[in-house]
Structure 1
Amino acid sequence: MLPHRLLGLLGLLVLCKGQAENKTEKSCDDFTDLNLSHCFLGTRLYVRLLLYTRSNLDCGLEINHHHLSSQPLLNLQRPTTFVIHGYRPTGAPPIWINHIIHLLAEQEDMNIIVVDWNRGAANLNYFTTVAYTREAAQNLTGFIMEMEEEGAALSSVHLIGVSLGAHLAGYVGANLKGKIGRITGLDPAGPLFASATPEERLDPSDAMFVDVLHTDMDSFGLRGAHGHIDFYANGGVDQPGCPKTIFSGKSYFVCDHQRSVFLFLCSLNRTCHLTGYPCASYTHFLDARCLQCEAFKPASCPVLGYDVSQWRDTLLRLGQTKVFFSTTGTLPYKKLSYRVDMVTWNQYLRWGVVYIRLHSGRNFTETRIDHKLLRFEQYTSTRLLAQFDEDLQHIQKISMRINTGNIIGPRYKIRLLRIRFTPLEHPDRPLMCRFDIIVEENMEVTFRPLPCTSQL
C-alpha cells in the first residue's frame, strides 16, 4: 500500500504530464468569428486560407501564403477546391461552412481551402466590402500562382464563390487569364453589379468552365446569364418556403439568396437530383415548351451540382445555356415531373386551370397547373407540365379536375380523347395512358391508368 503523499505526488505527475501533452497538441484554426461591433466600426481586409483534407475534416489548418512545401497536408498533385464566402453584415461565420467541407470531401480526394476574408467582408458599409473583393482576389491569385510554381495544375483548381464571393472568384480567374479549371457561382451578388461590364463581374471567360445558380435575381442576386451554364431555380427569383412578408425578420431578406447554397449542398449530398431543362424562360418551361434535351443526347439533361462538368464539352459547343427547374420548399427540394399530353374534343371553347392527383395506396400527391389559364377546344392537342412535391411510385389511380370558374349556368363537359403521362426524370418507369374520358367542368374525375401501347 503506497503512502498517501506518494499517491498524491504520482497523481500530480500524471496531471502535469497530461497538461504538457495537451500543450503540445496542435490546435485547430477556425473561421474568423466577429460580431456587430466589428461591423459598425468596420474591418480592414485580412485573408486567411484554411486547409481541410480527408485527414483533417474537423480541424482546419491555416496555410502560410508562401513556402507551400512546408505544408505537409497540402498535396498539390490532388485537385484543389476553394470555397469563397460573400458579404457578412453580422460578422458571424457562415452556417454552411462545415457542411460544404464534409460534402466536398465525399466527392473525391482533394484539398479544400476555405478563403476566410471575414475581416473585410464584415462591414456595414457594403461599398467598402465590394472594394475589398479586388484586393482579396489579388491575394488569392498570388497564392494560386505559388501553387502553380510548386507543381499544381491550374486546370485542377475549382473556385466556389457565394454571392459577392462569386465575383471575387471571377476576378481571380480573370487575373489568371481564364486558365482556372472551373468556377461555380452561387447566386452572384446583384447590388452594384447590375450594370457591370464582364470585366467587372463573373463571366464565362474567367475559367475553362463556369456554372452559375440563380435564386434571388429580384433582390440580392444578379440578373442575366453569366456562365457557360446558368441554372434558374424556380425562375431564379422567389423560392418556395421563404417568407413573403417583412414580419418574418432576417429570413425575409436572406432566405431566397441563401437557398442557392442549400440547393448546392443538397446536390453534393446526392439527395437532390435537380434536372435543368434548356429553355428561353421559366414561363416557357412551365408551358411545357422545352422538356426535352435533344442537344445533350446521348447524355441526359444537365443536373445541378458538382458533376455538371460532365456536360462541359456540349455546353462549350452550344455557348451560354440557360436551364430551368422547380423545387419544393424543403429538403430534398426535388419535384416529381410529368409531361402530360392530351387531345380534347369538346363542343364549346373553355378556359381553366387543371388539378391532378396521383394515388398510390393510401398516399397521394397533388398539383395545380395555374400559372396561366389553359385553352381547351375541339380536337386540340395540349401539353402540360405537372410537377408534384412527392415522388410516388406504382400509381394506381389518377384524379383530374378542370376548374373553369363557371359558377352559374350549365356545367359543360370536356372530352379527353387521349391522355398520356410521361415521367421526365425516370425513363425506367412506365408511361401511363387513358382513352376517352369525360370531364365535367369543376368536377373531379378519377380513372385507373393503363400501359401505353401506342404513341400519342
Structure 2
Amino acid sequence: MRAQFTMQKSTAQMIIAVCLICQSWAMADKSKDKATQPLNINSVQKHNIKLLSEQLNRGWRAFCDAPVDEGVMSLFQGISPSDARLHVMTITNQSVELPIKSISEIKDFDINPERKTLIYVNAFHTADSYFSVQEHLNLLQNSRRDLNVIVVDFAQDVAQLYYAVRHHLSVNGYFVYKLVRALKDAGIAVQDITLAGHSVGANIAALGAQLFAKENKQLVGQLLAIDPATMCRTTDILVKQSVASRVVVLHGEGDVFGVRVPLGHIDIYPNGIGYFPRRKLQPGCESKICSHMYPFILFMEALIEGVMIPATKCESWAKFRHGDCNFQNTLNIGLIYPATAKGLYFCMTQPNPPFTYMEHGLRYKARRPEKPSERNHIKY
C-alpha cells in the first residue's frame, strides 16, 4: 500500500514537473511572439515604409505589389487625394499653399492672362537638400515671374505615394482637369498652358489633359512628360500624343522606372540612356533611381538658370554616335519648342552642374571613366 502511494506521489510530482516545463515553454513562446509582433500602428507603419523602401529599387511593380498593411496606411496623413496641395504666388511674390479643394480660389492669386502658364504636377519627393524636388519647384516659382507657375503637389507625404499610385491616379487626374478648367474660366488661354510632371506626375498630368480634352473638345497647348513612370500596370502609362497639341517626353532611365519607348511628338534622350534596354546610368549617377531623376534636374536647370541644353534630331542613337544627324534640326530643353520639331532627339550632358555642354553636346563623345574624387554622387 505504501509502495503504491509512493509511486502515485512520484507520478503526480512528475506530471506537475512536466506541466511546469510546458508552461515555461508556452510563456517563452508567448514572450517571443510578443517581441516579434508590432506593438502599435506606428510600428506597423514603420514596417510598411521599410518594406516600400526596399522594394522601390526593384521598380514600380515590386513597389506597388509590396505586401504592406493598407489599413494602417490609411490612418496616416497623405493617404487621401484631398491631402494634396496647390502652390501659387501672390502679387507680392509670396508662395502660398492651398488645399487642393481650393481650386476655385485660384483666380484670386497672381494669375495673369498675358503670361504663359506652367502647371507642374509633382508626385515625387527627395529629402536631399541639393537635388530636392520641392526646393527646385520653389526656386522655379520665385525665379520665373514671367510665367504663371502653379505646383500641384501630390507628394506631401512620400510614404503614402504607394497608395496614391495604386488607388488614386484617376482622382488625382480629375483634380488636374478641374485646375485647367478653373484657369480657363479665369481667362487663361488653353493653348498657353503647359502641363508638366516627372515620373508618376507625368501620367497624372497626362490624364488631366485627357479629361479636359474629352469634356471641352479642346487640347491644352503642351504636355511635358519627364521620364514618365512605367507604373503598376501598363494601362496606367497615360502619356500619348493625343492628349495635348504638343507632347514632349524627356527620357532618363527607361529600364526599371521610366518608359523607354517614344510616346510624344518629340522624344529627347539625353546621353542615349533609356533608348536601349541596357543597364547604364546617367552621368554622375550611381543608381537607377538617380537616372530617373536626372532629366528633372536638366529641366530645372534650363528653366531656373536659363541654361541652354541643346539636342539634335537623329534617327537613332547609333547614328547620333556616328554623327549622322540633321544638325540643322535642333531644339533646347525647356518650355518652348519649334513648331516643326518632331521625332527623336539626342544630346550629351555632364555629371556636374552646369550639366550642359552647350553646342558641344550635339556631338557624341565617349565618356571617360570618372575617378572617385570627380564623381558628383547624385544619390536618391
TM-score (norm 1): 0.55
The counterpart of 2:222, out of the listed 164, 175, 182, is 182
What is the DSSP-based 3-state SS (H/G/I as helix, E as strand, rest coil) of the residue aligned with 1:292? strand
Equivalent position amino acid for 1:211 in 2: V
- Which consecutive residues of structure 1, in runs of 5 or more, have no partner in the other structure? 1-34, 244-251, 340-383, 390-456
- Secondary structure of the corresponding residue to residue 97 of structure 1: helix
Name the aligned partner's letter for residue 280 of structure 1.
Answer: E
Which structure has more relative contact order (CA 8 Å, sep 6+)? It is 2
Superposed, which structure 2 residues align to 1:50-89 within 5 Å? 50-52=87-89, 55-57=92-94, 59-62=95-98, 64-69=102-107, 71-88=108-125
Counterpart in 2 of 1:261? 296
The answer to whether the Cα contact below 8 Å between 2:310 and 2:359 also exists between their aligned partners in 1 is no
Match of 1:220 among 225, 248, 257: 257
Partner residue, 1:161: 197
Question: Among residues 231, 236, 242, which one is paired with 2:285 in the alignment?
Answer: 242
Corresponding position: 1:324 with 2:346: yes
The aligned runs of 1:384-423 (5 Å cut-off) are: 385-386=364-365
Alignment length (residue pairs): 284
Aligned residue for 2:297, secondary structure, equals: helix
| Conservation of the 8 A alpha-carbon contact between 1:204 and 1:210 | yes
Answer yes or no: is the 8 Å Cα contact 1:276–1:303 preserved in 2.
yes
1:113 pairs with 133, 147, 150, which one?
150
Residue 81 of structure 1 and its aligned partner are, at CA, apart by 1.5
What's the Cα RMSD here?
3.4
Change (3 A) 1:149 1:386: closer
Q: Kindly state the Cα deviation for residue 234 of structure 1 after the two structures are TM-superposed.
A: 1.0
Aligned to 2:333: 304
Q: Could you tell me whether the CA contact under 8 Å between 2:144 and 2:304 is conserved in 1?
A: no
> How many angstroms apart in 2 are the aligned matches of 1:121 and 1:236?
26
Aligned position for 2:232 = 192
Give 1:22's aligned residue.
none
The amino acid across from 2:352 in the alignment is T
1:125-144 CA-partner distances (Å, limit 9, x unpaired): 36x52431211111221232
CA drift at 1:120: 7.8
Unaligned runs of 5+ in 2: 1-44, 50-67, 74-78, 275-280, 369-380
Quick one: distance in 2 between partners of 1:74 and 1:138?
Answer: 21
Tell me the CA shift for residue 185 of structure 1. 0.9
In structure 2, relative to structure 1, the CA distance for the partners of 1:38 and 1:79 (3 Å cut) is farther
Mark the CA change 1:104 to 1:279 in structure 2 (over 3 Å): closer, same or farther. farther
CA distance in 1, matches of 2:109, 2:351: 43
Deviations 1:334-371 (A, max 9, x none): 236669xxxxxxxxxxxxxxxxxxxxxxxxxxxxxxxx
Provide Cα deviations, 1:301-324, integer angstroms capped at 9, x if missing partner: 1111123x2x0x212xxxx41101
Tell me whether 213-222 or 38-47 shows the greater mean CA deviation: 38-47
Q: 2:243 aligns with which of 189, 206, 228?
A: 206
Greater per-residue strand proportion: 1
How far did residue 253 of structure 1 move? 4.3
CA deviation map 1:228-268 (0-9, x unaligned): 1111011133201111xxxxxxxx24211111111111112
Q: Which residue of 2 aligns with 1:335?
A: 357
Aligned CA distance change for structure 1 residues 147 and 116 (closer, same or farther; 3 Å): same
1:68-90 deviation digits (Å, cap 9, x = unpaired)? 45x24344554322111124598
